[in-house]
Amino acid sequence: MKKLLFLFLGLSIIGITSCKKEYVTTPNQTIYYTIDASTWVTNDGGKTYTANLSFTNTDIYQNTSDGVLVYVSFADGVYEPVPQTYFGVSYSYEVNNQRVQLRIQSSDGSSTITPPGTISSKVVLIPSQQ
């Protein structure tokens, strides 16, 4: 009987210690940009302006599976999420594997606007496990 008890306890200890949960996390990456006033480009007479925020070779992003969050800052240290409307100007963006294109236009879509001066932006690249 004692042999059976020791066998059961031995197998229980091996079974309990061999099960180990492992959590694998994929870290995101945050990239900070300063968008100078001269960076904004228009092709429609001032109704829409764009600024390209390029990725470097070390940035981790695949357009087919990963996510991107974009924020802009008009005051020191206060980042607001894009898309948004700020003082009648609509901010949006589009992404591919090489860059984020930040786009601004009037909230009614037809008025001409003055592009902002120098602003800060941060882009958060969120890799996804497949």
pLDDT at 111 over 80: yes
Residue 16 lies in a domain: no
Q: Which helix (H) or strand (E) holds 59?
A: none
Asked if residue 51 is part of any domain, the answer here is yes
Residue 126 neighbours by CB distance under 10 Å: 15
- Indicate whether 21 belongs to any domain: no
The model's pLDDT over 9-42, given as tens digits with 9 standing for 90+, comes to 665 666 565 566 676 676 888 889 999 999 999 9
pTM of the model: 0.73
How would you list the strands of the sheet with 48-54, edge to edge? 41-42, 48-54, 99-106, 89-95, 84-86
Q: What is the DSSP letter of 64?
A: T
CB 102 within 8 A of CB 80: no
The single-letter code of the amino acid at 80 is E
Question: What is the number of structural domains in the chain?
Answer: 1
The verdict on residue 54 lying in a domain is yes
115 phi, psi to nearest 5 deg: -65, 155
* DSSP β-ladder status, 29-35 and 119-126: antiparallel
Q: Please check whether residue 120 lies inside any domain of the structure.
A: yes
pLDDT by residue (tens digit) across 45-66? 889 999 999 876 555 666 677 8
Contacts of 24 (CB under 8 A, 6+ apart): 129
Does residue 121 form part of some domain? yes
Specify if 23 maps to a domain: no
Q: Tell me if 115 is assigned to some domain.
A: yes
